[in-house]
Amino acid sequence: MTQPAQPAEEQPAGEKPDGAHPLGLLPGRVGGLTAAEVAERVSRGQVNDVPVRSSRSTREIVRANVFTRFNAIIGVMFAIILVVGPLQDGLFGLVIVANTAIGIVQELRAKKTLDSLALIGEARPQVRRDGAAQQVAVGEIVLDDTVLLGIGDKVIVDGEVTEADGLEIDESLLTGEPDPVLKHPGDHVMSGSFVVAGAGAFTATKVGREAYAAQLAEEASRFTLVKSELRSGIDSILRFITWLLVPTAIGLIISQLAVEGRDWREAVRRMIAGIVPMVPEGLVLLTSVAFAIGVVRLGRKQCLVQELPAIEGLARVDTVCLDKTGTLTEGGMDVVDLRIVGGGEPDDPDDGTLKETVRQALGVMAGADARPNPSMQAVIDAYGDGSEERRDGWRVIEAMPFSSARKWSGVQLLEPRGDEASWLLGAPDVLLPSGHPALAEVDELGAQGLRVLLLGRTPVPLDAPDPAAGLRPLALVVLQQRLREDAAETLRYFEGQRVEAKVISGDAAVSVGAVAAHLGLPGAGHPVDARTLPAEPKAFADTAEHTTVFGRVTPQQKRQLVGALQSRGRTVAMTGDGVNDVLALKDADIGVAMGSGSDATKAVAQIVLLNNSFAVMPSVVAEGRRVIGNIERVAGLFLVKTVYSVLLALLVIFTHSPYPFLPRHSTVLSTLTIGVPAFFLALAPNNERARTGFVRRVLRLAVPGGLIAGTATFTAYALARANHATELKSDTSVATLTLFLVAIWVLAIVARPYNWWRLLLIGTMCGAFALVLTVPWLSDFFELSLAGTRDPWIGVAIALIAGVVLEVVWRIMRRRTDD
């Protein structure tokens, strides 16, 4: 069937008015369910009621961020201070609010973005009911509905084709196969695919959770948090501290009540002052802040991070599994070569002249196609739309669009020399007779993963029974799938960072291998067809570990490959955009989805590349390394405080002494020696490679530092108490001064190597503490007052000795840690 070459005004995809469907108005094609039949199915629950869920619910987000072990510990302490007062001793409680708010706000922001993406992509399918076409919501489709399909329409539910007029379905999001599939009446269609050519209708056979895409989404719908060594390490420390709190609290409150007949309110305050510093509350907050700032930075690059620790996770990844379609390639083709395969006309014997004629004819053919498929669009991109050639004397008489049934497209042209001929472009094995010499070259190119089309010329008109009869082959048009401009550079980055990339695709293994080889991926020359993978788990894992490219991979096999790699100790990231990637994305340590991908993939992925740019991945890795390196650096500060707080509590209990600090003293010490400096240090550039063993490395440095700080502080405090001329307030002030100086020394060690802003930071903290001691209203608020000169100078001397010991021990432990 031919079509006029004159351009027609097209209706934009997705904007068809009610009843204006390609099949909806054809005579004899009426029917569908009646209103009564629809109501009956709705009453039986046979409706497409799959909930659209792009992320965790608001309630789940709030609950997960509020009910944490950290919030429980600090919250109980804060509630006690609210009872016994004064309020300035409860300043530490603000950390709960800040930490919780950061986590909630970030996840709600990600949820809002994903929900808006889901709404933008929501389809309004057409169904035939009571003999007329009408648009309905996705959730209103019922079993046995007749769903109409036109170009650009999504297949919402599974069904069986009842009508087809050149209907071609793209199932790449389900199978990874880039070529559209021609559908005939009786064929099955699956939800998650979409129409690229023709029109048709199908009867819904599976709706709701029974549909294919819904089943994959349902299996992946259980929300799982990304694994985080930082978070699990901090949780382990908090868990250990939780066990210490109860006996320490009992011992502290008994000792404080027994010492000098102190009243119970003061005893509780001092008990809280001993317990709160044991909890590295600022470390939890700072980790959240550092991740959140990383999320904002990546957001500016159109990278949506749904979970804060996902940045860390990608920085620890040592294996990246890439889906070819949508990740390494774009949704188009490129012409890479034009090869002349036959001689020209007697008047045109020169190959160069013939090649120019072929280019002109291709441009005219492409321009005559009202709805070019990806291959024809590649011809348009390479040779234009024929507008210039038509001015040079080429004229289109008739045009026949590409059909998967024919495997070719054609135009009948009036050529500049006045001749009239048909030009056909299509599959060489269809247009050429068996054994033709050009087919050997076609097979060779196909083995490289390239797509080859044959251009030929014949005097037979297009409306003849066999237009390909007498075809004279002129040229081979060689195409390849369009590669993302940033793919090769990104793969080189991962290779330089010793991160192994593996390509896992549903497309043919040869084609996938060719794409990977073109991008310079090591090992791409030996692709494996997943249909040949061994069933035995160990052999399967061996193949997964030592193979770089896999083709013809099913969704379940993608999941198995990820699991096999994880079983070998790999930290795996998976990228993808289709429904067929959902299960693997969910099981991977880090799931990365494309913004143009299916809603299901974006729902289960921890990171969504909104601009579909794979080039953002190095930025995510770099951001993760900055966070990990800096958090590990400053974690030592917080855990030094934990260690010296535990030591001070034990010394107080065993010596029956008043606890040297009130909660407000702990607050000012933590703020100036840990909280504020750590915030700036955590945001500094850092590109150190992520390593495992976070807790072990931090403790090897924090434990000796904390023991030295606690011993120095209690020694200065005990000597001050031995001077009976001073009051407890002055003794506390001496202990505070000593601990501040030792803690600043620890900060000076952690802040190395120095630059101008780090030295300024340390100097500013020292100046702020000097103001607290000297400004009357500040010293009154924090109850600090240094009496005399003897005790303060003794405290300074002890702090200097402790600093020298710190330097020696720190160097020894650092050397052991590096080894």
773-809 core/surface letters (b: 16 or more CB in 10 A; e: else)? beeeeebeebbbebbeeebbebbeebbeebbebbeeb
Which residues, 6 or more positions from 489, have their beta carbon under 8 angstroms from its beta carbon? 615
Q: Which residue is catalytic, options 158, 323, 589, 731?
A: 323
How far apart CA 744 and CA 728 sit, in angstroms, is 24
CB 158, CB 141: distance < 8 Å: no
SS3 category, 353: helix
- Burial (CB count <10 Å: 0-12, 13-18, 19+), residue 361: buried
How does 727-761 read in b/e, with b if 16+ C-beta sit within 10 Å? eeebbbbbbbbbbbbbbbbbbbbbbeeeeeebeeb
CB 314 within 8 A of CB 573: yes
Convert 479-510 to b/e letters by CB count within 10 Å (16 or more is b): bbbbbbebbeebbebbeebebbbbbbbbbbbb
Q: Is 577 a catalytic residue?
A: no
Residues paired with 575 in a beta bridge: 592
Integer Cα distance of 71 and 89 in angstroms = 17
Burial label for 45, CB within 10 Å (0-12, 13-18, 19+), is exposed
- Cβ burial of 460 (10 Å; 0-12, 13-18, 19+) is middle
Count of helices and strands (H, E) across the chain: 29, 21
In 3D space, the residue among 321, 280, 357, 625 whose CA is nearest the CA of residue 491 turns out to be 321
Peptide bond just before 473 cis, omega within 30 deg: no
Sign of CA dihedral 390, 392, 397, 398: negative
Please confirm whether the linkage preceding 12 is cis (ω < 30° from 0).
no
Can you tell me the distance from the alpha carbon of 578 to that of 596, in angstroms, rounded to the nearest whole number? 9
**Alpha-carbon span 445 to 3, nearest angstrom:** 33
Distance (Å, whole) CA 471 – CA 479: 22
Length of the chain: 819
Give the Å distances, CA to CA, from 669 to 348, 404, 677, 741, 747: 91, 75, 12, 10, 12
Contacts of 590 (CB under 8 A, 6+ apart): 226, 310, 313, 314, 317, 572, 573, 574, 606, 607
Say which residue the tokens 């996705």 belong to: 138
Beta strands in 383-471 (DSSP E): 395-403, 408-414, 420-426, 451-458
User: Residue holding tokens 């080889």?
Assistant: 517
Cα–Cα distance, 211 to 216 (Å, whole number)? 9
Active site residues: 323
